[in-house]
């Protein structure tokens, strides 16, 4: 495990490597960024560097500490993840017991807390006491999608490091270097929002199933059979809320691309380049005005369902509206 494994985030890596080289690492760091952006990998690399026994390049990957860490057997490292939907106070109590022990292999100890924003209030208050009086040589690395749910007192005791999405071109190049086809890599890079983890998920078998379902919806709405509306609403309503929102998110991207195509704007900005010919054909029924209106309607439905609206009614209303817009385009 070394820093060369990481794609992008050069500014963050530079800061962390400088901390390691100087030996001046804050006792608590908070990594913030979207899921799949790479912050967990950076946290693991930093933990390996903190535990590494080499005097220069950290982590070196071949000292006793690095080998133990890479095999998940380093006694001076612990990982805290949500137990179910949240991180509970019993997990922080166990962390306190771990923190009270002296290092046995490395010069210090490290704890990574994944999805830290999902700590219960009791767990967060218990962790705060640890952060206020950290054990000597102990480093906490909190990893979170957003800082908003965390206690202000916890935030004030952490050095915050923000992770930004990777530029699509850099991400696509990295995916091609991993053996993926160029067109597929570009599509995944754009649809992932610059997140390596998300892009790899999209490139997995059936990774684009939700996108293809959204594309099928546009195909069905462009036809004459109104029964499709009820069939599509029923199919979508059978999904979990998170899955419904994922499909609608892809529908948003598709209508965005149709706006670009119908208005003859810069096609270099397309996300779904692999579906471009089909989307061009749909613009006969979905010219620029209708595609823009559809874009707004999908956004409104995403907000409604995210706000706990009745998903079946919201989906039916959306599909009826989209069908009406398609008819106007024709």
User: What tens digit of pLDDT does each residue of 153-175 get?
Assistant: 999 999 999 999 999 999 999 99
Q: What is the largest CA-CA distance in the chain?
A: 74
Decide yes or no: CATH 1.10.287 for domain 208-329.
no
Residue matched to tokens 């499909």: 247
Specify the pLDDT at position 29: 97
Specify the pLDDT at position 1: 72
Specify the pLDDT at position 70: 93
3-state helix, strand, coil in the chain (%, to 5): 60, 10, 35
Gap between the Cα atoms of 167 and 180, Å rounded: 18
Domain extent listing, the chain? 3-162, 167-205, 208-329
Residue matched to tokens 């306190």: 96
Residue matched to tokens 């991207």: 253
Q: Read off the pLDDT of residues 182-226 as tens digits, 9 standing for 90 and up.
A: 999 999 999 999 999 999 999 999 999 999 999 999 998 877 677
The pTM score is 0.82
Specify the pLDDT at position 329: 56
Low-confidence ranges of the chain (pLDDT < 70): 224, 329-330
Written in H, E and C, the secondary structure of 216-258 is: HHHHHHHCCCCHHHHHHHHHHHCCCHHHHHHHHHHHHHHHHHH
Topology of the domain comprising 3-162: Rossmann fold (3.40.50)
Specify the pLDDT at position 56: 79
């Amino acid at each position: 495990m070394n820093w060369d494994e990481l794609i992008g985030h050069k500014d963050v890596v530079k800061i962390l490597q400088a901390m390691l080289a100087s030996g001046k690492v804050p006792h608590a760091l908070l990594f913030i960024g979207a899921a799949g952006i790479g912050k967990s990998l950076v946290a693991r690399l930093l933990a390996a560097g903190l535990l590494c026994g080499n005097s220069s390049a950290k982590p070196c990957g071949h000292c006793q500490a690095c080998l133990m860490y890479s095999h998940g057997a380093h006694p001076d490292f612990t990982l805290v993840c949500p137990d179910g939907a949240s991180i509970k106070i019993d997990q922080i109590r166990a962390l306190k017991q771990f923190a009270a022990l002296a290092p046995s292999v490395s010069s210090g100890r490290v704890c990574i807390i994944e999805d830290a924003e999902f700590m219960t209030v009791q767990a967060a208050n218990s962790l705060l006491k640890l952060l206020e009086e950290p054990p000597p040589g102990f480093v906490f690395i909190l990893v979170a999608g957003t800082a908003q749910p965390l206690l202000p007192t916890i935030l004030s005791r952490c050095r915050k490091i923000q992770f930004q999405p990777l530029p699509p071109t850099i991400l696509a190049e990295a995916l091609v270097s991993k053996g993926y086809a160029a067109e597929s890599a570009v599509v995944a890079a754009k649809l992932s929002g610059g997140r390596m983890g998300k892009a790899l998920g999209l490139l997995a078998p059936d990774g684009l199933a939700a996108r293809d379902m959204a594309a099928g919806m546009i195909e069905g709405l462009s036809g004459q059979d109104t029964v499709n509306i009820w069939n599509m609403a029923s199919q979508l309503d059978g999904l979990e809320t998170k899955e419904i929102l994922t499909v609608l998110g892809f529908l948003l991207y598709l209508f965005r691309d149709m706006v670009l195509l119908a208005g003859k704007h810069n096609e270099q900005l397309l996300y779904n380049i692999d579906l471009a010919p089909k989307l061009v054909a749909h613009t006969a029924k979905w010219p620029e005005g209708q595609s823009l209106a559809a874009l707004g309607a999908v956004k409104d439905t995403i907000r409604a369902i995210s706000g706990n609206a009745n998903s079946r009614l919201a989906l039916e209303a959306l599909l009826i509206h989209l069908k009406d817009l398609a008819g106007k385009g024709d």
